[in-house]
Amino acid sequence: MTTRKTVRIAMNGVTGRMGYRQHLVRSILAIREQGGLDLGDGTVLWPEPVLVGRREHALRALAERHGLDQEAVATDLDAVLADDSIDIYFDSQVTLAREEALTRAIAAGKHIYTEKPTATGLDGALRLARQARDAGIKHGVVQDKLFLPGLRKLKRLVDGGFFGRILSIRGEFGYWVFEGDWQAAQRPSWNYRSEDGGGIVVDMFPHWEYVLHDIFGRVETVQALAATHIPERWDEQGKPYQATADDAAYGVFELAGGAIAQINSSWAVRVNRDELVEFQVDGTEGSAVAGLRNCRAQHRSSTPKPVWNPDLPATEVFRDQWQQVPDNEEFDNGFKAQWELFLRHVVLDEPYSWDLLAGARGVQLAELGLRSSAEGRRLTVPELSL
Ligand SMILES: NC(=O)c1ccc[n+]([C@@H]2O[C@H](COP(=O)([O-])OP(=O)(O)OC[C@H]3O[C@@H](n4cnc5c(N)ncnc54)[C@H](O)[C@@H]3O)[C@@H](O)[C@H]2O)c1
């Protein structure tokens, strides 16, 4: 006999790209479709979303499309936060709107789960983390890339000692985001205006921070060059606007333990890779290339010995000399996997390290990355504490 325990989650920003697809449909609704989250003690956790936003008709349409209660939509955040039956506040609004909403939700005593970046500056991000600690609530920040199959397999190689001493990590992230004139842009226009919280450094450095920190070691220094390669774009209404935010960033990060990471991030690059992001890791004992889903490896014992000779065509197909790292387990959607761990943290008090302090580290790296670029120098990344 199982008992069902309902957890009510106010989801703010569900009409957006991430809020709708990854968090509502692929995570919360997917957990309901699987019959809830089995806690293993005879209890099944049943997430009950309340859709929060500014446009009631859009929220109602979403509720209808997914068979949710028409009453479970709200446009008044204060009323939602005053509702004692709401356990968790989730935020996937545009970045600029986040800090204020989180501050109010923490003050109302809600547990917090939020998209990154948690704030637009380090001061604000730390303020949130301190406020959450003082309020004694549970808090989590989306760090989805850690839950992707490719990176899980890469972490498995690291944990198994495959690499020996890790020397370097090269990350290549990006794809062409259309300018919006002759083909519609595939990302919202606010991403390209710094006054609206946009920019690739603010967007992607928080991801690189937790990927590097959790898999390889804390980021100790950053040196970045941010650029705006495409200065004019066209918005959702087809109107031209000035792209004031950086759309590419070339970053070098020194990690605790001595490895050096170099990550290119760009929305102005065409893909000649197997996946939209790939990390090559080279170590004394072996190397690996991990993407979102796949990971291939080459051990030192099977490393070929190419000889530099530009007079001859390449005699080897280098890509064929790598071995696929097998899945060996089933991988769920990364966002859903992290949601499930967060829900268990809330209900069962299981440990959870991807919290607002971890989120603040991501904001810190973005802030220092932009400063490094503006000042043209390498900066130390101080260790954060509350
Ligand atoms: N984890 C990831 O991989 C990942 C990927 C992309 C974006 N994100 C983050 O998710 C957040 C949302 O990004 P998105 O791409 O879904 O954006 P989006 O523009 O598609 O959605 C933004 C949402 O915020 C709402 N909103 C609230 N106040 C707003 C305002 N003043 N102006 C405009 N919209 C407002 C919109 O209605 C919408 O629901 C961002 O903070 C972004 O950094 C995370």
Residue 217 located in a structural domain: yes
**DSSP of 234-303:** E-TTS-EEE--S-SEEEEEEEETTS-EEEEEEESB----SSSSEEEEEEESSEEEEE-SS-EEEEEGGG-
**Residues 24 and 112 occupy one common structural domain:** yes
Domain shared by 210 and 252, yes or no: yes
Angle at 287 between CA 293 and CA 225, to 5 degrees: 75
Out of 94, 186, 189, 210, give the residue to mutate to test ligand 1, the one with the largest number of ligand atoms within 8 Å of its CB.
94
Nearest one of 4, 79, 86 to 46, comparing CA atoms: 4
What gap in Å lies between CA 296 and CA 319, rounded to an integer? 10
Q: How far apart are CA 153 and CA 260, in angstroms?
A: 20
pLDDT given at position 197: 94
Do 307 and 346 have their domain in common? no
Residue 261 within a domain: yes
Closest ligand 1 atom number to CA of residue 143: 1
Taking residues 328-354, report their average pLDDT. Answer: 97
- The residue-averaged pLDDT of 135-142 equals 98
**Binding-site residues, ligand 1, Cβ < 6 A:** 13, 15-19, 53-54, 92-95, 97, 115-116, 142, 144, 188, 203
Per-residue pLDDT reduced to its tens digit, 101-120:
999 999 999 999 999 999 99
Confidence bin at 2 (pLDDT 50/70/90) = confident
Q: Indicate whether 198 and 249 sit together in one domain.
A: yes
Rounded mean pLDDT, 135-157: 98
Q: Are 256 and 374 found together in one domain?
A: yes
Question: Residue 120's domain is classified under what CATH number?
Answer: 3.40.50.720
* pLDDT digits 0-9 by tens, 282-294: 999 999 999 999 9
Residue 71: predicted pLDDT: 86
Give domain status of residue 301, yes or no.
yes
Do 82 and 21 fall into the same domain?
A: yes
Residue 162, in any domain of the structure: yes
Q: Please provide the distance, in angstroms rounded to a whole number, between the alpha carbons at the two ends of the chain.
A: 44
Percentage of the chain lying above the pLDDT 70 cut = 100
39 and 155 part of one domain: no
CB proximity list for 182: less than 8 A, separation 6 or greater? none
- Confidence at residue 319, expressed as pLDDT on a 0 to 100 scale: 93
Domain carrying residue 131? 3-144+334-354
**Residue 284 within any structural domain of the chain:** yes
188 within a domain of the structure (yes/no): yes
For the CA of 145, the closest atom of ligand 1 is 3
Record the tokens describing residue 56, joined without a space.
Answer: 């009631």
The total of structural domains in the chain comes to: 2
Residues 341 and 370 in one domain: no
Tokens of residue 162, six digits: 């495959």
Q: What is the pLDDT of residue 235?
A: 98
Bridge partner list, 173: 265, 277
Backbone angles phi, psi at 167, to 5 degrees: -95, -50
Indicate if 213 and 321 belong to the same structural domain.
yes
- CA 41 to centroid of ligand 1, rounded, Å: 36
- pLDDT per residue over 59-95, tens digit each? 999 999 999 998 899 999 999 999 999 999 999 999 9
| One domain, residues 140 and 192 | no
| DSSP assigned state of 382 | P
- Report the amino acid identity of residue 342: F
What percent of the chain lies above the pLDDT cut of 90? 97
* Band of pLDDT at residue 124, cut at 50, 70 and 90: very high
Residue 240: alpha-carbon gap to chain centroid:
29
Summarised one tens digit per residue, pLDDT across range 157-190 is 999 999 999 999 999 999 999 999 999 999 999 9
Identify which of 62, 92, 187, 203 to mutate to test ligand 1's pocket (most ligand atoms within 8 A of the CB).
92
Which residue minimizes the CA distance to atom 5 of ligand 1?
18
pLDDT category at 370 given cuts 50, 70, 90 is very high
Question: Which CATH number characterizes residue 190's domain?
Answer: 3.30.360.10
- Cβ partners under 8 Å of residue 346, min gap 6: 7, 87, 88, 111, 138
In the structure, what pLDDT confidence band is assigned to residue 305 with cuts at 50, 70 and 90? very high
Average pLDDT, the chain: 97
Q: Are 131 and 216 within one domain?
A: no
Give residue 93 CA to ligand 1 midpoint distance, Å: 4
pLDDT value of residue 49:
98
Instruction: Provide the CA 209 distance to its chain's centre, in angstroms.
Output: 10
State whether residue 118 is helix, strand or coil.
coil
Cα three-residue angle 219-383-339, rounded to 5 degrees: 70
Burial 182-206 (b: 16+ CB within 10 A, else e): eeebebebbbbbbebbbbbbbbbbb
In a domain, 158, yes or no: yes
Q: Give the pLDDT band of residue 227 (cuts 50, 70, 90).
A: very high
- Going from the Cα of 92 to the center of ligand 1, the distance in angstroms, rounded, reads 5
> Residue 351 — φ and ψ, nearest 5°?
-60, 150
> Which residue's alpha carbon is at the smallest distance from atom 24 of ligand 1?
93
Distance CA(336)–CA(268), nearest Å, equals 30
Q: Whose CA is nearest to atom 31 of ligand 1?
A: 97
Quote the crossing angle between the two packed helices 356-375 and 122-135, to the nearest 10°: 170
Q: Are residues 327 and 338 in the same domain?
A: no
Q: Centre a 10 Å sphere on the Cβ of residue 31 and count the other Cβ atoms it contains.
A: 19
- Is residue 192 in some structural domain? yes
